[in-house]
Structure 1
Amino acid sequence: MDGKGNRTPAIGIDLGTSYSCVAVWKHDRIQIIPNDQGNRTTPSCVSFVDGERLIGDGALNKAAMNPANTIFDAKRLIGRRFSDSKVQDDMKLWPFRVIQGPFDTPKIVVSFKGEEKEFLAEEISSMILGKMKETAESYLGKVVKDAVITVPAYFNDSQRQATKDAGAIAGLNVMRIINEPTAAAIAYGLDKKSDITRKINVLVFDLGGGTFDVSLLTIAKGGTIEVKAVGGDTHLGGEDFDNRMVDHCVREFKRRWNKDLTGNKRALGRLRFACEKAKRILSCSTQTSINLDCLHEGIDFSMKFSRAKFEELNICFFSKCIEIVETCLSDAKMKKSCVNKVILSGGSTRIPKVQSMLQEFFERKELCKSLNPDEAVAYGAAVMASKLSGNNHKSCRDLLLLDVTPLSLGVGVLGDIFDVVIPRNTPMPTKKSKSYVTTKDNQTCVTVKVYQGERTRSTDNHLLGKFRFSEIPPAPKGVIKFMDTFEIDANGILTVTSEIISTGKTEKLTITNENGRLSNEQIQKMVNDAEKYKQEDQEYKKKADALNALDDCIYNMKKKIKNMAHGKSLREMENAITDITKWLEHKQTASIVEIQRMQKHLESVADFKPNVRDNTYDFKSSASKKIHNAGKFFKNFVLRQKV
């Protein structure tokens, strides 16, 4: 794009655990795009209800009343295994059902159109990304294809690739996957470029709904952003704070009435919604109340919640955030006194205790809050998207991003030891090699297992993939050498190649379903499914619009005949309205064409004019015949619907 809008612009998407945000470069600046409700962030929520699929605000509104079929937290599942202890812990709190799919992948189960449907986390995430794509297209008036999507800095290779797959399913060309705190730093660097007269060290503290990230970066005059170190927890955020509040309320309910709420999914959904609202209030007030009528078995629940109690329940999480900041500084070999700026990103940074603990750690240093913490990540992603699409504006042209690997990468060797090939916080893109030898005499095959993590024992880390080398020339142990080459692209996604040095034979790592990655065939099927759901959504909306138009027609007809003189024509019109009103009770089975035909007939019946001589109504020529024919049509149609 040339910065003048001559081509369809690329968008930046912050795919959040709780809320998502989309932005674009337009008129020489970044614009956050509001959704169809006028909100600048959209709930990362999908609900299946009454034959309709809702995404965003509409889905969130159904969460309390339709908990089993309203999906949130897909980001906490993406790229993970069903057997993951964190997934198992989350399942106890979710009102929707998660089952074990093939190759230990988690699958979300909902009831939709009278049957059970199973979805991977990638599919749910793709629905949210599709909503952000549609939001941008509505705003720009153009089809959008290219996007930069952000992920937590501490996402591993599987989680990054799964996010990229979700983008593909949504019909997006994912130009780049970038880290959320890095995107926030880009946003800050662009917003404050005039203030940067020398190299400054910036710490980005990104605490969102489901993940926590901290990044230490250096921003140079001119726009070069170099990431020095990253740290974080992909399972720490605002929803964990909500869960602590929910647990406390459940215990309090049991203490008062000796009744257990944990089996009542609807009650838990309502309670979670109330706790999340209370948490937000406690960021600006010291006390609030949770009031829920008929929460469980007809019992009303009411309790006061103080900010002090909220902080007491979550102090362990807040302290963990500060510990991760310390580790990040240690990895970068930087003293906290050398940090010039501390940038806040993510909605959970609004919590006063989080801010006070962070400020205390940095010895009362002022925290940067100039950008909306809910929007900073999408803002930075849009800057990167604009640069990658060829924007020649100086702010984008000068941007140079030097990111680092979030986790160490290596192979499992003899004794279940994790041998690191690429250490964490290595600048990306990168390529490193390491040689290995056979461990047995006349060994003819070897299995190369690739892991990601920081534990000494290989099996304590995340297995990314494995491949088998066969037809190795027989030789004493230690004679045959292998060269394993690890290559990480700009998205932080890994390719591993292994070569037998003596023969030149190579094998390349292909991560399959067994490792949680989707095949091209699966992605294509999901793309087709996504298009099918999109068409179904559009058909549902068209039908709803047609029904609303018919309702309006009935309402207007009733208004018109309200003051008509009694007579045969009036009775026939009233009968026609009665018949069509009854028919509307069976509207679920009618097609759009049938609804529109019904409206057309009703409009023909209402075709009348006033008679000024006797203050009654005369029908236009053949109107009585129209009423008679329409009445027959209504009766026949209702009979057809009943058969």
Structure 2
Amino acid sequence: MTDLNACIMTDAKSAIGIDLGLRYSCVGVCRHQDKVEIIPNEGGYRTTLSNVAFTPTKCLTGIDGRDHATTNPANTIHEVKRLIGRRFNDPEVQKHIKRSSYKVIKGAYGLPKVVVEYKGKQKEYSPEEISSMHLVHLKNLTESYIGTTVKDAVITVPSYFNDSQRQATKVAAHLAGLDVLQIIDKPVAASIAYGLHMITDETNVLIIDLGYVTFDVTIVTIDKKGKLAVKATGGDTCFGGLDMVDLMVDHFVKEFNRKHQKQMDIAGNLGALSRLKRGILLAIQNLISHAETTISIDSLYNAIDFYASITRDKFEEINNSFFSKCTETLASFLRDAKIYNTDVDHIVLVGVFTRIPKIQQLLREFFNVNELLKSINVVEVVAHGAAIHAANLIHKKREKTKTLPIIPLLQTVPLSIGVDAHDGVFSVIIPRNTPIPTANEKIYFTTFDNQRSIPFNVYQGERSRAKDNKWLGEFEVAVSPAPKGKSKVTVGFSVDVDGTLNCKVKELTTGLKKEFIIYHNKEKISHEVIKKMVKDAEKYKMEDQEYIKIMHARNVLKEYIYNVQRRIKTIGSTDKTRLHAKEIKKMETAIEAANQYIDKNQELADVDEYKKVQYQLEKLCVDVIAQLV
């Protein structure tokens, strides 16, 4: 479908599209009409391992660092994308540390640091620095291939990446000397590669991305104007093709032990395990196009050679549980997204393991379709789309024209973003599923006399009580001292095309403004977390509604107390002579009792109790103040 994706003819510096993968990365450039070129690495391969290895003399990337995962595991950094933009105590970071061969420590501000031996010294690097080393390698490969300097890039990330992870990716690119034109979601890039943005009817595109260690499922919607929006994302970030490899390892170890009457401790021999996995991966690749293949490894264990043949049928039998989980994960995703099989118009395949015939058969049967979009190499399709988008963006940036249409991307805010109002209620500023880029603002008032600042805690989620949502950060705005409710500030949130959360505040009395980015660096808002938070919001809907009612009754009582106290202060000396001191004292005592009731019920009484206290206070105060009318 290249006719739908006309690239820009350039004779100047080119912009590139980078699929920055967890295990492998791929780079594309669109320099000539109707043509995307995928950049080969120094070995001629069109994907490059994302590892970075450190030796006593040098830092190795690409093919040079490929074999160090087994020979120098403590100093070979892999899957650093699982660390980027997260804190050290993040459960996902801790899970990654437990299964990694390299050391990760808690650095400044609670952020993870990778520790390696390099040039005879112990060095500490942030995930962004490690990622930048890999990006420098990709940048150099591209410059060598096209013969010009590369500065601008579109970089793809998983749809579930949150603001912190996207911002950290941009930092890594900046360290590598790249200007990021835009961060876009991988499924959106895959849709662009097939020209689906040119469709003029409302369309649902399902992107199946089955890689080595992740299984991502995404629905991208396209409206009549060609706007692409990620409608839903799901899957499993800790399940992928290597789980299939593990099943085959177990099978062949049992075969080895049965044949040679030995107890092969494969887990204790990393070299043997690595070579067996490589042989299995090669066999899986061969079985994509052949009905049978062999695995042959010299001196696999205790100087014993390993040889085995396997058919495609046997391969599918061994991995039956894997294929079942793929189907179950897909079905669960569609249920949560409230999408029927028949709602899907196109299915795009991404990731090396979607080449497997059994996977494609399951998808055809599941959706009752004949066609799957796979004509573009499934490993390169994301970089392909990113390159097309980069060419369009750089054309707009440099030529300031609209000769070719700029592809409109419409991503959404996955969860509502707002602040803790003074009463603990979550005040939403940007609602969930709002298309980005977006901006919105609200006005907030002081809550007591002569208040000098208003503190704000920022949250993301769907619960009515602020503390039940995910805390993102905090800020404070100075205000002019004045009576309660007189000083006010405008709080404005905006989410840019990269998903970065920006904040603008303005103190309306003085006109003073303040702008900043909210760096929350907390645990990722993955699709699993989003799904749970939305379900919790539905589960506790009645409880949250009751909380809102209680807080309303509490605030009404507090406001009434405040107004009565102000009225007492304004009573003049003449008025006081008309009131008995005993009556004034009775009113002041009642107000104090009401305040004590509020203070003692921080865990919240029920609505009726607050109304009862207010009714008793109103009855007394109205009778007393009425004497002045």
Fold match, TM over 0.5?
A: yes
Instruction: Give the alignment's Cα RMSD to 1 decimal.
Output: 4.1
Report % sequence identity. Answer: 39
Superposed displacement of residue 386, structure 1: 0.7
User: Does residue 1:324 correspond to 2:330, yes or no?
Assistant: no
Amino acid at match of 1:58: D
Partner residue of 1:231?
A: 233
Partner residue of 2:220?
A: 216
- Give, in whole Å, the separation in 2 of the partners of 1:347 and 1:496: 40
- Give, in whole Å, the separation in 2 of the partners of 1:350 and 1:302: 25
User: What residue ranges of structure 1 are gaps of 5+ in the alignment?
Assistant: 518-643
Partner residue of 1:413?
A: 420
Partner residue of 1:616?
A: none
Partner residue of 1:91?
A: 97
Partner residue of 2:538?
A: none
The equivalences for 1:228-627 within 5 A come to: 229-232=231-234, 235-238=237-240, 241=243, 245=247, 273=278, 276-277=281-282, 280=285, 306-313=315-322, 315-316=324-325, 318-328=327-337, 330=338, 335-390=340-395, 397-413=404-420, 419-436=427-444, 444-452=452-460, 463-471=471-479, 473=481, 475-476=483-484, 481-511=488-518
User: What residue ranges of structure 2 are gaps of 5+ in the alignment?
Assistant: 1-5, 525-629
Partner residue of 1:560?
A: none
- Give, in whole Å, the separation in 2 of the partners of 1:458 and 1:288: 58
Amino acid at match of 1:18: R
Q: What SS does the aligned partner of 1:230 have? A: strand
Report the more deviating stretch, 88-97 or 392-401.
392-401
- Give, in whole Å, the separation in 1 of the partners of 2:282 and 2:470: 36
Report the more deviating stretch, 82-91 or 426-435.
426-435
- Give, in whole Å, the separation in 1 of the partners of 2:104 and 2:161: 21
- Give, in whole Å, the separation in 2 of the partners of 1:310 and 1:455: 41
Structure 2 CA distance for partners of 1:500 and 1:237, relative to 1, 3 Å: farther
- Give, in whole Å, the separation in 2 of the partners of 1:296 and 1:457: 59
Superposed displacement of residue 243, structure 1: 7.9
Structure 2 CA distance for partners of 1:290 and 1:81, relative to 1, 3 Å: farther
- Give, in whole Å, the separation in 2 of the partners of 1:335 and 1:513: 36
Q: What SS does the aligned partner of 1:155 have? A: coil
Superposed displacement of residue 352, structure 1: 4.2
- Give, in whole Å, the separation in 2 of the partners of 1:322 and 1:396: 42
Superposed displacement of residue 93, structure 1: 1.7
1:129-156 deviation line (CA, Å, top 9, x unaligned)? 1111111101111111111111111110
User: Does residue 1:22 correspond to 2:27, yes or no?
Assistant: yes
Structure 2 CA distance for partners of 1:155 and 1:513, relative to 1, 3 Å: closer
Q: What SS does the aligned partner of 1:369 have? A: coil
Q: What SS does the aligned partner of 1:473 have? A: coil
Report the more deviating stretch, 482-491 or 141-150.
482-491
- Give, in whole Å, the separation in 2 of the partners of 1:395 and 1:317: 43
Q: What SS does the aligned partner of 1:227 have? A: strand
Partner residue of 2:44?
A: 38
- Give, in whole Å, the separation in 1 of the partners of 2:28 and 2:245: 30
Q: What SS does the aligned partner of 1:178 have? A: strand
Partner residue of 1:158?
A: 164
Structure 2 CA distance for partners of 1:203 and 1:380, relative to 1, 3 Å: same
Superposed displacement of residue 65, structure 1: 2.0
Superposed displacement of residue 229, structure 1: 0.8
- Give, in whole Å, the separation in 1 of the partners of 2:463 and 2:285: 37
| Equivalent of residue 204 in structure 2, options 201, 204, 222 | 201
Structure 2 CA distance for partners of 1:89 and 1:499, relative to 1, 3 Å: same
Amino acid at match of 1:84: D
- Give, in whole Å, the separation in 2 of the partners of 1:137 and 1:357: 41
Partner residue of 1:122?
A: 128
The equivalences for 1:90-109 within 5 A come to: 90-109=96-115
Contact kept? 2:7, 2:392, Cα under 8 Å: no
Contact kept? 2:218, 2:230, Cα under 8 Å: no
User: Does residue 1:131 correspond to 2:137, yes or no?
Assistant: yes
Contact kept? 2:50, 2:62, Cα under 8 Å: yes
- Give, in whole Å, the separation in 1 of the partners of 2:242 and 2:475: 37
1:524-551 deviation line (CA, Å, top 9, x unaligned)? xxxxxxxxxxxxxxxxxxxxxxxxxxxx
Contact kept? 1:446, 1:468, Cα under 8 Å: yes
Amino acid at match of 1:366: E
The TM-score, its normalising length taken from structure 1, stands at: 0.68
Aligned length: 507
The TM-score, its normalising length taken from structure 2, stands at: 0.69
- Give, in whole Å, the separation in 2 of the partners of 1:396 and 1:93: 51
- Give, in whole Å, the separation in 1 of the partners of 2:169 and 2:427: 27
